[in-house]
Amino acid sequence: RSLTIFVIVLPKADPGYQCSEKVGSSNITALLVVNRVVSILSGGGLSINGKHVYCGDYIFSGHTVIFVMAYLAIKQYTPSKYYLAHWVSLLVSICGIIFLLLARGHYTIDIIVAYALTYWLWITYHTMARIPILKTKHKDNQLKGLLWWHVLRWLESNTDHEVPNEFSIPFWGLIKKFWRRCQSPPLTSVHC
């Protein structure tokens, strides 16, 4: 995304956006950069604080990336019996993208490019992670030319098989143990 922001600059999607003034290359200081970063972070990257520091950084939509990745993660990593969660996350993602377009937060092309790149990256990563030969330096493995292939090999180095889609409540065993202790007659001075 950083590369596309640097290379492709589009006009503001909404003429009502108030952007910071452009600063010439000779006037950029470390303090100015820090101030603009703090301004962006103070609104969570959104227009909540009314200060749009950088306008024209649309290709591609980071918001759409988050919506698509969230849906794909929920769909991929939760058991199929949680179909309601799958449908709700899909609906929330679609509504979020539609609201981005309605609010003129992004152009349609930003959304399409973000969806295409995110989905391609997701499918490519998971295909490479599941097929062992794609994680090797085999002479016929053309995917090893991808820049992030080495990162994938490192991330997936200690997995010999697919991780099962199982769901458990964190610390559930500890909670049950504590609950049983509270239900039994106290043997010590500890009370619940």
Per residue in 91-138, pLDDT tens? 999 999 998 888 777 778 888 888 999 999 899 888 888 887 888 888
pLDDT-based confidence at 5, cuts 50/70/90? low
Residues 79-104 pLDDT 10s? 888 899 999 999 999 999 998 888 77
Give tens-digit pLDDT for 30-64: 888 788 777 767 766 565 556 555 666 667 788 88
Burial (0-12, 13-18, 19+ Cβ within 10 Å), 83: exposed
Alpha helices in the chain (DSSP H): 2-7, 30-42, 62-77, 83-102, 108-130, 149-155, 172-183
CA geometry: angle at 152 spanning 150 and 154, to 5°? 70
Rounded distance, CA 111 to CA 166, Å?
A: 32
Residue of 86, 110, 138, 140 marked catalytic: 110
- Assess whether the previous peptide bond of 60 is cis (omega < 30° from 0): yes
Residue position matching structure tokens 């997936």: 156
The token pair at 106 is 């992004």
Which residue among 57, 86, 106, 138 is the active-site one? 106
What is the model's pLDDT at position 85? Answer: 93
Catalytic position from the list 14, 63, 126, 160: 63
Q: Do 162 and 130 touch, CB atoms closer than 8 A?
A: yes
| pLDDT surpasses 90 at 167 | no
Is-catalytic flag, 63? yes
**For residues 97 and 146, is the Cβ–Cβ distance under 8 A?**
no
What would the pLDDT profile of 9-25 be if each residue is shown by its tens digit?
666 666 776 666 777 76
The answer to whether 94 touches 182, Cβ cutoff 8 Å, is no
SS3 26: coil
User: Sign of dihedral through CA atoms 61, 59, 106, 46?
Assistant: positive
